[in-house]
Amino acid sequence: MRKEDKSAIIGQLEEVLKTYPHFYLTDIEALDAEKTSKLRRECYKQEVKLVVVKNTLLKKALENVEGDFSPLDGALKGNTAIMFSETANVPARLIKEFTKDTKGEGKPQLKAAYVQESFYIGAENLEALVNVKSKNELIADVIALLESPAKNVISALQSSGQTIHGVLKTLEER
């Protein structure tokens, strides 16, 4: 590969790394063409960008991006595919769903991830990444917590009002 081509690829990777807040490094080496196509279709449906890269080019792109990505250096061995996503847990769920028949031992295999400004190294972190909540899920949880006391008060007032009404009705009939 010519030096100009390498520079262009590194530049493209830098732009994509700046665009997406979360990315997963995966190993998809053993997938045949049919499974690879299926994985790419699933990624497209769930708005995950899947890119197969050379480790050295990715390493140079990470060096040029703001931040320290040196914890990922150990994961940059063998075949590497990157899954870029706007939502933190979507690629983890996709990997888990794709490997559920193989009890998590199949491909794609998680090598490392950069999620919510934290590093997750190794396939054993897949379950933790599946359970990471997105920003919208966290906002929904906070709203539900804030609504809960108000709902309880309203419910108590409504039920006690019916009880009082029932007692008064009974007294009136006597």
> What is d(CA 108, CA 79) in angstroms, rounded to the nearest whole number?
11
Over residues 24-75, the pLDDT tens digits come to 999 888 788 888 888 889 889 989 999 888 988 988 888 888 888 888 888 8
> What is d(CA 40, CA 45) in angstroms, rounded to the nearest whole number?
9
The 3-state DSSP class for residue 80 equals strand
Calculate Rg over the CA atoms of the chain: 25
Element at 149 (helix H, strand E): helix 135-173
Residue in the structure block whose two tokens are 């009705």: 169
- The pLDDT profile of the chain, 174 residues, written as one tens digit per residue, is 788 888 888 889 888 888 888 899 998 887 888 888 888 898 899 899 998 889 889 888 888 888 888 888 888 888 888 999 988 888 888 888 888 776 656 678 888 888 888 888 888 888 888 888 777 777 888 888 887 777 776 776 666 656 666 666 777 776
The burial of 26, by beta-carbon neighbours within 10 Å (0-12 exposed, 13-18 middle, 19 or more buried), is given as buried
- Is the Cβ–Cβ distance between 113 and 119 less than 8 Å? yes
Residue 163's contacts (CB-CB under 8 Å, 6 or more residues apart) are: none
